Chain A
């Protein structure tokens, strides 16, 4: 077979906004796919609503549409572009679902558009529970029985059919509250009775118990000639029961004998062949640890999160190969890009161990339910490579950036044995730390295996780490013990803690003793063939394979795992910086720890070091590579935090100097800067303790905005109106200290806006001003924003430009900076300056057509803005209006209040572009899945201070013909103003929500006053469109009104 010549134009559907379970990995796979198709000469049309992606860059596809991935818009694009085929298997579940919807609507048939990769019936067979079950029956492959029931009688029937023991899980309850294991019908009746009552959707899931089985995953490929292969097998540290996205995963498989391995490999190949997938597929299996019995848990008929991990773990570019297969090429025709000499028909052999640890958002969502189960909760992940499990695991732990450098969580030292036991059995995000603590307390690994069902092989690795920890403690400054510790992944910082020394002392001792890491290549073939992949990991062995070239190089530090506040936007900027470095004639070297990203695709940079982004690991690479300098502006707070320590170790930090970075980030320093420049800003100060905070608040006046210093994404940020609340916050929400003070600012009510600017020391390029839809008080990352500004006078824009120039120059900015403003009573105040690329860089780059990270990188490397053809000042806006909307993952996270506030909660973003503000807004809402029909029922519950605006909202909805529902005080207030409102009691409300009778929920009450949080949670659980900020509702009303005719009786 060769590539198909009967098709010429192919549409690729992206995965849309980043949500939990569907993250940056699809930017990686989508980008690879588009490039592979273009490479083969096809015309590529891309649709993706997410601007913060490399794949939506103009050069990735021939036609890039940043439009909502909904039937309305995708079908319009299909009619306009008339592609020959659609490739739906590289855009995650979103891409696949869209393709299904298109196919079922008949438009593909009508326009004679073919689905490539996986046929519709195969998608159906894998996705539909019953069809999947029947396929597995045909293949004689066992699947665990399960059923979803809403009534007792259904539960009993299903239970008796499936057989006992059974796991009962009520839907949407905190921590699976009300669930349990039933050994017989009587127990089942008890548990289901309770479960149905507790579940807000009166639903429980029954499942045949396979708890304690090993969870094994295979990434499989197949081509049209029926060649099939396994790219990578992976084994979960956590037994079955925890979503694989929330599990610690090792590659390759560790504890299976070859007989078990081959048995499961056969199953995976049998399934991909039965589904006739042309491309990649993910097969998840459960294996009894005490027999050969296994079950097929799940099949994803597409490229998945796991395939991104498998690609990075093996070096095998699954998405690229899958795209080529989809257009007819076969595995034995495609060259393995890693070796350059062998074919893609090759099952990679690893000679290292990969460890993936999920990154959960519980540092931000402190009230979220942390119990892990079948619903994935992690926002991102880290991967680490080592020559053994210990090394890979400890490297991964220190890549997580959760404030812990090692498997030692000091908070656990004090907990009771009972609490410890609970932490072991009830797996939460921090179980690894509980396991380490249990071993320190002397629990044997056999006991631990018994309690947790985690394989002894893995537990022994943890025991080994703790033994080395003991060895280190007993043998201070022993180079042999240190070498052993380094081989097993211990960081200098951890050793320093155990030796009561500074990290620098340990580093010096280590280097004096010539204990230096070497770098080994990831080559897919365990060294069997010569490879030239520039993809390396560090370890403590004898032979270094990373050859330093003569070409001058620049090191770029990536942004690590994706978390709330530091998302794929930073990877976007990192990749652009790398491109600019290469164009400027340097070798671009990148370091990062995140397997999901484009930046860790080894073909992006000249050299990739897949390493933790700690001072030690970065310095090690710098000492080997001796780059001209390091660029930190694009890697978010992760990279910027390295600026000072790197400088202290004599590393040249390129761009804005470390001293100036500090002047922007340090509160007192920054205060001096703005006072000197005479720039207005909210009054405030830093407090080391509660007393200071109260004094400051008194001085500047309530309400005050409080937050800890040096954080990203507004962690622990709150708006406080009263003294008592401030006192509570200072004592409970933060740990204030002299080194980590809390910022207390007067809170100004007004419109917020922000700019990203690039400065070369002389000129300041301002690509655009972004106006936020929601007023100050909603975190900028959670605000909708519009470019160009819609509601600002020329005078305000002038003030913004003036302040931006002043600040850029006063801070001696070289490269990028981001400034946030609030406009209060026609006056502009500066709220915050970030001396680095911000999360708006991709959005603004796209809408202004200025590749900002590249321009900034060129500036950093010494090329002025004028030399690059840019002018000083604000770039005039074009004719189109662009709206960016945040996207949330609340439905995945029990216990997180969806109310917007100063703490960032969104996981992703979409963009809507059109000729008018209302049309662009509509697209942004549609892209963010905030759909409001043209008539229906609106439920309004608002806080007292919003009553005036709440009335306007209600009135406008009523005028459009919506029926108004409201609770308690809101209902009384609206009635008193003469609106026809139905007042709902909580019970009635619950039932209406269940019956899907409510179309929109507007709810702005804080916490659970007036059942606020309860109603919001219900809305999320039932998928009802929810607004928690009045300004967003005004935006929606503008859209609705613009779409309807004005009707008025005479």
Chain B
């Protein structure tokens, strides 16, 4: 069956339908990762977005029960050059096609994804629809439509829950949490309480956490103003670690600014330098917004990490409080594990903070 990818600037690409028999509307973004489509499609940071893979062959190893990054995927559509006819991997449960059907996500294949990528590179991320039929108003409707601004609300958990263990107590604020953050914390034996995105500082502190994590999530950080007050309340009291959207919110809460990038960073090969040590890691990234470097000048924040090519701010820390954040995903999945040491560093920070606490009590 035919299906079309229509962009707001009037470009129409025709391809074959797969996945759900539905239309999709969202911002078209591309990811350059060559593996990990399962993790990306289920990454809630893609909420509201139509995800296009630049690697031409997608679905090669199917979908397995283990590698989900959320229980309910919220990306709006999937664009590929070629969908595997026959997937093969020992862990595979179902094909990508079946998975998208089950989750009501439409896909389109047979697209010259490189041409579309180059188009986005020059025009920036664009609004787009996936439709089975083109009408006279398809393009004009698309131009009029506005992208949702409540992606965090539609991604976060509605209720608090715990992931118990016998280690340190962590409150993880869920803005569209990737499960791999939980995996990394669990692997370090953290006793975790996950709270919804609209939790207040009091809510967070009521759990008496040893540390607080701000998760990743979709959309514009400025659409989540309630979180800023919470962060300001928490950072003074307990060590804090923010990832991706959590990083942007941490910056905003401390008086810095964020901006929308032309087409963002989505892929696994962005090299990030830690300024203090010169260490460079390949990082898993998925962000369309970034922290404005200039805006950090008059704040208590300082840049700790940057992308080596375009110097995007990739990590910051608070000069007074034990709080830091990174723009990329140290939890990887998909992508390299190079930066997972940050979770260890967070743990050390918690330990040091406790030591300090003891000293001051004495």
Listed in ascending order, the chain A residues whose CB lies under 8 Å from chain B are 225-227, 229, 252-259, 261-262, 265-266, 289-291, 331-332, 341-343, 345-353, 387-389, 445, 455-457, 460, 463-464, 520, 525-530, 541-543, 545
Known: A332-B308, A351-B56. A259 touches B66 (CB 8 A): yes
Contact A262 B332 (CB under 8 A): yes
- Min CB distance A719 to B, Å, is 53
Contact B269 A348 (CB under 8 A): yes
Q: Is B273 an interface residue (CB 8 A)?
A: yes
Q: Is B297 an interface residue (CB 8 A)?
A: no
Q: Is B315 an interface residue (CB 8 A)?
A: no
Complex: A353 Cα to B143 Cα, angstroms: 35
Q: Which of A255, A290, A520 contacts B61 (CB 8 A)?
A: A255
Chain A residues lying within 8 Å of B112, measured Cβ to Cβ, are: 541-543
Contact B90 A291 (CB under 8 A): yes
Contact A526 B55 (CB under 8 A): yes
Most B C-beta atoms less than 10 A away, residue of A257, A341, A350: A257
Q: Which of A290, A387, A526 contacts B32 (CB 8 A)?
A: A526
Contact B86 A460 (CB under 8 A): yes
- Min CB distance A317 to B, Å, is 17
Known: A262-B337, A353-B56, A455-B88. A543 touches B118 (CB 8 A): yes
Name 14 interchain pairs, CB-CB below 8 A, sorted by A.
Answer: A256-B35, A258-B38, A258-B39, A262-B335, A343-B271, A349-B34, A351-B114, A388-B56, A460-B86, A525-B269, A526-B114, A528-B121, A541-B112, A543-B114
Complex: A528 Cα to B309 Cα, angstroms: 12
Q: Is B182 an interface residue (CB 8 A)?
A: no
Contact B86 A456 (CB under 8 A): yes
Contact A528 B32 (CB under 8 A): yes
Contact B86 A258 (CB under 8 A): no
Given contacts A266-B337, A345-B271, A346-B309, 17 further A-B pairs with CB under 8 A are A227-B280, A252-B55, A255-B89, A258-B33, A258-B333, A332-B280, A341-B309, A347-B268, A351-B117, A352-B56, A387-B82, A457-B84, A457-B87, A520-B114, A526-B114, A526-B267, A530-B121
Q: Is B123 an interface residue (CB 8 A)?
A: no
Contact B114 A257 (CB under 8 A): no
- Min CB distance A343 to B, Å, is 6
Contact B57 A527 (CB under 8 A): no
Contact B32 A349 (CB under 8 A): yes
Known: A252-B34, A332-B280, A343-B308. A257 touches B89 (CB 8 A): yes
Contact A389 B57 (CB under 8 A): yes
Complex: A289 Cα to B90 Cα, angstroms: 7
Q: Which of B36, B84, B267, B269 contacts A258 (CB 8 A)?
A: B36
Contact A457 B54 (CB under 8 A): no
Complex: A455 Cα to B36 Cα, angstroms: 19
- Min CB distance A315 to B, Å, is 13
Contact B35 A253 (CB under 8 A): yes
- Min CB distance A222 to B, Å, is 11
Chain B residues lying within 8 Å of A332, measured Cβ to Cβ, are: 271, 273, 280, 308
- Min CB distance A1013 to B, Å, is 46
**Closest residue of chain A to B110, judged by CB?**
A487
Complex: A332 Cα to B87 Cα, angstroms: 38
Main secondary structure of the interface of B (DSSP, over half): loop
Chain A residues lying within 8 Å of B279, measured Cβ to Cβ, are: 226-227
**Closest residue of chain B to A352, judged by CB?**
B56
Q: Residues 48-82 of chain B: 1 if any A CB is under 8 Å from the residue's CB, otherwise 0? A: 00000011110011001011000000000000011
Q: Is B282 an interface residue (CB 8 A)?
A: yes
Q: Is B215 an interface residue (CB 8 A)?
A: no
Chain B residues lying within 8 Å of A291, measured Cβ to Cβ, are: 90
Contact A349 B64 (CB under 8 A): no
Q: Which of B303-349 contact A (CB under 8 A)?
A: 308-309, 332-337
Contact A346 B87 (CB under 8 A): no
Chain A residues lying within 8 Å of B34, measured Cβ to Cβ, are: 252-253, 349-350
Q: Is B278 an interface residue (CB 8 A)?
A: yes
Complex: A542 Cα to B85 Cα, angstroms: 22
Contact B64 A257 (CB under 8 A): yes
Q: Which of B270-303 contact A (CB under 8 A)?
A: 271, 273, 278-280, 282
Contact B115 A543 (CB under 8 A): yes
Q: Is B113 an interface residue (CB 8 A)?
A: yes
Contact B88 A351 (CB under 8 A): no
Q: Is B91 an interface residue (CB 8 A)?
A: yes
Complex: A463 Cα to B85 Cα, angstroms: 10
Chain A residues lying within 8 Å of B267, measured Cβ to Cβ, are: 349, 526, 528
- Min CB distance B195 to A, Å, is 28
Q: Which of A259, A342, A345, A350 contacts B55 (CB 8 A)?
A: A350
Known: A527-B54, A543-B118. A256 touches B282 (CB 8 A): no
Chain A residues lying within 8 Å of B278, measured Cβ to Cβ, are: 225
**Closest residue of chain A to B117, judged by CB?**
A527
Chain B residues lying within 8 Å of A387, measured Cβ to Cβ, are: 56, 81-82
Complex: A409 Cα to B7 Cα, angstroms: 46
Chain A residues lying within 8 Å of B54, measured Cβ to Cβ, are: 349, 351, 526-528
**Closest residue of chain B to A350, judged by CB?**
B34
Contact B271 A257 (CB under 8 A): no
Chain A residues lying within 8 Å of B85, measured Cβ to Cβ, are: 460, 464
Complex: A541 Cα to B81 Cα, angstroms: 10
10 smallest CB-CB distances across A and B, nearest first, come from: A258-B36, A543-B115, A460-B86, A258-B334, A526-B54, A456-B88, A349-B32, A347-B269, A527-B117, A457-B88
Chain A residues lying within 8 Å of B121, measured Cβ to Cβ, are: 527-530
Contact A528 B117 (CB under 8 A): yes
- Min CB distance B269 to A, Å, is 4
Contact B335 A258 (CB under 8 A): yes
**Closest residue of chain B to A524, judged by CB?**
B269
Chain A residues lying within 8 Å of B88, measured Cβ to Cβ, are: 255, 455-457, 460
- Min CB distance A1027 to B, Å, is 52
Chain B residues lying within 8 Å of A346, measured Cβ to Cβ, are: 269, 271, 309
Chain B residues lying within 8 Å of A520, measured Cβ to Cβ, are: 114
Q: Residues 21-39 of chain B: 1 if any A CB is under 8 Å from the residue's CB, otherwise 0? A: 0000000001011111011
Most A C-beta atoms less than 10 A away, residue of B57, B273, B278: B57
Contact B117 A388 (CB under 8 A): no
Complex: A266 Cα to B332 Cα, angstroms: 12
Complex: A253 Cα to B36 Cα, angstroms: 12
- Min CB distance A706 to B, Å, is 50
**Closest residue of chain A to B90, judged by CB?**
A290
Q: Which of B33, B60, B118, B308 contacts A349 (CB 8 A)?
A: B33
**Closest residue of chain A to B119, judged by CB?**
A543
Q: Which of B33, B55, B60, B282 contacts A457 (CB 8 A)?
A: B60
Chain B residues lying within 8 Å of A256, measured Cβ to Cβ, are: 35, 61, 89
Most A C-beta atoms less than 10 A away, residue of B35, B60, B115, B308: B35
**Closest residue of chain A to B59, judged by CB?**
A457
Known: A349-B269, A455-B88. A527 touches B332 (CB 8 A): no
- Min CB distance A249 to B, Å, is 16
- Min CB distance B295 to A, Å, is 25
Chain A residues lying within 8 Å of B30, measured Cβ to Cβ, are: 528
Contact A229 B60 (CB under 8 A): no
- Min CB distance B267 to A, Å, is 6
Contact B114 A255 (CB under 8 A): no
Q: Which of A257, A455, A545 contacts B38 (CB 8 A)?
A: A257
Chain B residues lying within 8 Å of A259, measured Cβ to Cβ, are: 66-67, 333
Contact A258 B271 (CB under 8 A): no
Complex: A240 Cα to B268 Cα, angstroms: 28
Chain A residues lying within 8 Å of B282, measured Cβ to Cβ, are: 229, 347
Chain A residues lying within 8 Å of B82, measured Cβ to Cβ, are: 387-388
Complex: A257 Cα to B39 Cα, angstroms: 10
Chain B residues lying within 8 Å of A529, measured Cβ to Cβ, are: 121, 309
Contact B114 A527 (CB under 8 A): yes
Chain B residues lying within 8 Å of A347, measured Cβ to Cβ, are: 268-269, 282, 336
Chain B residues lying within 8 Å of A257, measured Cβ to Cβ, are: 35-36, 38, 61, 64, 67, 89, 91
Complex: A253 Cα to B117 Cα, angstroms: 22
Contact A527 B308 (CB under 8 A): no
Chain A residues lying within 8 Å of B113, measured Cβ to Cβ, are: 351
- Min CB distance A229 to B, Å, is 6
